[in-house]
Amino acid sequence: MADELATDSTETDSTETAGDEAAGDDAVDPALFGALAADPLAALLGIELEFVGVGYARAAMTVGPRHLNAVGTAHGGATMALLDVVHAAVSNSHGTLAVAQDVHTEFLGAGREGDRLVAEGVELHRTGRTAVYRIDVTAGDGRRVATALARVFRLGTTWATNGPASEGAEPRP
């Protein structure tokens, strides 16, 4: 997923490449990583944010009994939660507060109990106000489980170590 990405020269804030630690990219500041990893729903579902680099994020969860739907496969909501954790991390990896506008997900195969699902997100396009990401979920045996195209609105607010630093914002616990 660490492909070179083309950019539009008219963008005010563009991305040239996206990658991960294997490609040698540096991780985001530990304080930002800590803020992004402090997601109560992710903790409840057993989702672990593993790595965040500028324009890249990866998280994983192991499908257990609490993640199953009525037919015994990974619930789409659990898979979407994994995607959303990565979406939040990758879209905020520049240190600028970003909020989701749209996520379009295609479920490609079912996750099974015991599968370790890994979601990886890369930045495809970023301007000063919006950005688009691709997020893929695969099982440990290489099966593609889901793919998503996700868009955010960038608020222009800089993250602080206790959360977004904006006028009137409540500090994060």
Interatomic CA distance for residues 13 and 155, integer angstroms: 13
Model pTM score: 0.80
> 135, 158, 167, 163: which is closest to 148 by C-alpha?
135
Per-residue pLDDT at 172 exceeds 80: no
* 21-156 CATH: 3.10.129.10
Give the dihedral sign, CA 37/41/44/50.
negative
Span 128-166, pLDDT tens digits:
999 999 999 999 999 999 999 999 999 999 987 554 443
Give yes or no for a contact between 85 and 49, defined as CB atoms under 8 angstroms apart: yes
pLDDT digits (tens, 9 = 90+) for 40-68: 999 999 999 999 999 999 999 999 999 99
Helix (H, G, I), strand (E, B) or coil at 41: helix
Task: Enumerate the domain spans of the chain.
Answer: 21-156
- Record the tokens describing residue 5, joined without a space: 């990405």
